[in-house]
């Protein structure tokens, strides 16, 4: 049955000239059917270079929006419009305006996990894999980092020459991975290295052996001589980790590392939306124009 569905998906894709992009957090069977799987940075770069006229995005709304902003002439289809990232809504345009008015010469640095509306009033976007590099290359000393406080603090630690103002946004999935969860996992797996996403809280990143984006975690584990790892990010990455490293062992730190929104993306829905080519990402020309500036600046500064 699953194989039948995969065949149908492949046939529809070809017929309708669709490329399937998937984030590492979606279910393994969805990653397996995708043409490209990656972290937020990789997928946003890819959206600008793929040949197909249509992009089917297996991820949450802000990812599809970024693809549309960077490739406005393509149709971007989402698998489930209700798959939305709560953190993307944790800062307001008013808050950004307020800080811009109060602080002189401040750059608003916006994590891609934010709405197009927020990107449109920001100076530059970052992802977890390029944030340090991009912020380092910004001329302004004052940085208002939105919406994720944990990623902001992680970047700030690496760039003491900058003056950071943080916002109180967070990812509930990563925040739920607690210090005691990680300590317990370390007790149970004494030889394992701890690999952590920077959306985790500071106490967790501090006791980790490596902190990086999803693709950086996968690269680190793949290139390491170590055989066991405790993974502190959404469990979807375990699929690619295990694919690339069948002989290595990967453990979760507790049982709460699941993003319900990413898990709304199922093979059944992929097949359905390919039939209808709906729902699509729609945005006004003005919004696309305003939000593309910080995204393009990110791609430039991250080179």
* Binding of residue 173 to ligand SF4 (CB under 6 A): yes
Residue 218, Cβ neighbours under 10 Å: how many?
23
179: closest CA among 97, 123, 254, 70?
254
**Of ligand 13P, ligand SF4, none, which one does residue 39 interact with (CB within 5 to 8 Å by kind)?**
ligand 13P
Site for ligand SF4 in 56-95 (CB under 6 A): 60, 85-87
Cα atoms in the Cβ-side hemisphere of radius 13 Å centred on 297 = 25
Residue closer to ligand SF4 by CB (options 208, 261) is: 261
The binder of ligand SF4 chosen from 112, 171, 182, 241 (CB under 6 A) = 171
Binding ligand SF4 (rule: CB under 6 A), the pick from 27, 39, 234, 240 is 234
For CA atoms 136, 140, 144, 147, the dihedral sign is negative
CA distance to 23, 66, 131, 147, per residue, from 303 (Å): 21, 18, 12, 23
Which residues does 93 contact at the CB level (< 8 Å), separation at least 6? 117, 118, 121
- Select 9 or 78, whichever has its Cβ closest to ligand SF4: 78
Q: Would you call 118 helix, strand, or coil by DSSP?
A: helix
Burial class (CB in 10 A: 0-12, 13-18, 19+), 40: buried
CA-nearest of 196, 219, 181 to 150 is 196
Chosen from ligand SF4, ligand 13P, none, partner binding at 213 (C-beta under 5 to 8 Å by type): ligand 13P
Q: Which does 261 bind (CB under 5 to 8 A by kind): ligand 13P, ligand SF4, none?
A: ligand SF4
Stretch that binds ligand SF4, among 10-18, 152-160, 254-262, 291-299 (CB under 6 A): 254-262
Q: Which is nearer to ligand 13P, 13 or 66 (CB)?
A: 66
Spatial distance between the Cα atoms of 145 and 43, rounded to a whole number of angstroms: 22
Nearest approach in angstroms of CB 212 to ligand 13P is: 8
Q: Counting contacts by CB under 6 A, is residue 140 touching ligand SF4?
A: no
C-alpha neighbours within 13 Å on the C-beta side of residue 201: 12
**Residue 262 neighbours by CB distance under 10 Å:** 24
The residue written with tokens 């729609």 in the block is 282
208 binds, among ligand 13P, ligand SF4, none (CB under 5 to 8 A by kind): none
**Does position 259 bind ligand SF4 by CB under 6 A?**
yes
Q: Compute the distance between CA of residue 148 and CA of residue 152 in angstroms, rounded to an integer.
A: 6
Least CB distance to ligand SF4 at residue 234 (A): 5
Provide, rounded to whole angstroms, the least separation between the CB of residue 124 and ligand 13P: 16
Q: Kindly list the residues in this chain that would bind ligand 13P in the complex (CB under 6 A).
A: 39-40, 85, 113, 127-128, 171, 199, 213-214
Q: Which one, 21 or 259, has the nearer CB to ligand SF4?
A: 259
Largest CA distance in the chain: 60
Instruction: From the list ligand 13P, ligand SF4, none, pick the one residue 40 interacts with, judged by a Cβ distance below 5 to 8 Å according to partner type.
Output: ligand 13P
Site residues, ligand SF4 (CB under 6 A): 25, 60, 85-87, 113, 171, 173, 234, 259, 261-262
């Amino acid at each position: 049955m699953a194989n039948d569905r995969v065949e149908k998906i492949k046939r529809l894709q070809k017929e309708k000239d669709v490329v399937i992009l998937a984030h590492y957090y979606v279910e393994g069977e969805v990653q397996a059917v995708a043409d490209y799987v990656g972290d937020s940075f990789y997928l946003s770069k890819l959206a600008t270079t793929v040949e197909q006229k249509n992009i089917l995005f297996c991820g949450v709304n802000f990812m599809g929006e970024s693809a549309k902003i960077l490739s406005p002439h393509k149709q971007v289809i989402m698998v489930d419009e209700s798959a939305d990232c709560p953190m993307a809504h944790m800062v307001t345009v008013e808050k950004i305006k307020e800080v811009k008015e109060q602080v002189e010469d401040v750059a608003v640095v916006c994590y891609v996990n934010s709405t197009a509306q927020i990107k449109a009033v920001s100076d530059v976007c970052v992802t977890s894999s390029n944030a340090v590099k991009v912020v380092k290359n910004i001329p302004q000393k004052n940085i208002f980092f939105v919406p994720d406080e944990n990623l902001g603090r992680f970047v700030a630690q690496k760039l003491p020459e900058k003056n950071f103002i943080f916002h109180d946004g967070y990812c509930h999935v990563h925040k739920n991975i607690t210090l005691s969860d990680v300590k317990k996992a370390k007790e149970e797996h004494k030889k394992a290295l701890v690999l952590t996403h920077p959306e985790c809280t500071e106490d967790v990143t501090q006791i980790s052996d490596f902190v990086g984006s999803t693709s950086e975690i996968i690269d680190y584990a793949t290139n390491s001589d170590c055989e066991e790892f405790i993974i502190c990010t959404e469990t979807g990455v375990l699929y690619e980790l295990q694919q690339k490293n069948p002989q290595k062992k990967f453990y979760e730190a507790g049982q709460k590392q699941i993003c319900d929104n990413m898990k709304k993306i199922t093979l059944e829905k992929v097949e359905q939306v390919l039939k209808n080519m709906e729902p699509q990402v729609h945005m006004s020309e003005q919004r696309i124009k305003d939000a593309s500036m910080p995204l393009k600046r990110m791609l430039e500064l991250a080179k």
